[in-house]
Amino acid sequence: MVIPCSGIGKVHGLIGREATYRVTDGLAYDKTATLCLALLVKGDPEAVEAVQRHRCITIDGCAKACAQKNVEMSGGRVAKAIQVAEAFRNFRGARPGTATALTEDGWKISEAIAQSVHCEAAELLGVEGTVR
Ligand code: SF4
């Protein structure tokens, strides 16, 4: 499971969500899935079961780590916790865009995160035989 934070109103959140879709709809569409973080927050049984049954990679916009914390509070297993803000360190001076639209820089950061998540998922696949 690849689970981004909500991050509404911040470019960091948009980068995390786009990175998630790049993995779950593209790079590893047949091996990964995502879910709405709000379902976990409200204790939806299917969402809670999903994070408890599968290894999770969380993508958070900032150090508040809402996705990571909510997966953990739901009894889920966080195999890798990624923070978009940290990814910015490799893109000094980047102008990523806004909360609603990424620039070329923003898409580059999102793609780098997606590649990292894809590698992590592939590693989990090798270790566990499945990431779903
Ligand atoms: S981790 Fe940061 S950006 Fe993401 S939802 Fe929480 S406060 Fe917002």
Pocket test for ligand 1, best of 62, 71, 88 (most atoms within 8 A of CB): 62
61 within ligand 1 shell (Cβ under 6 A):
yes
What's the 64 CA to ligand 1 centre distance in angstroms? 6
Comparing 11-25, 38-52, 96-110, 116-130, the range with the smallest average pLDDT is 116-130
pLDDT at 22 over 50: yes
Q: Residue 111 — very low, low, confident or very high, per pLDDT cuts 50/70/90?
A: very high
Mean pLDDT of the 99-110 span: 97
Residue 92's domain spans which residues? 2-128
17 within ligand 1 shell (Cβ under 6 A):
no
Q: Can you state the angle between helices 11-22 and 104-128, rounded to 10 degrees?
A: 50
- What total of structural domains would you count in the chain? 1
Number of residues that make up the chain: 132
Q: Residue 11 — very low, low, confident or very high, per pLDDT cuts 50/70/90?
A: very high
Mean pLDDT of the 43-54 span: 97
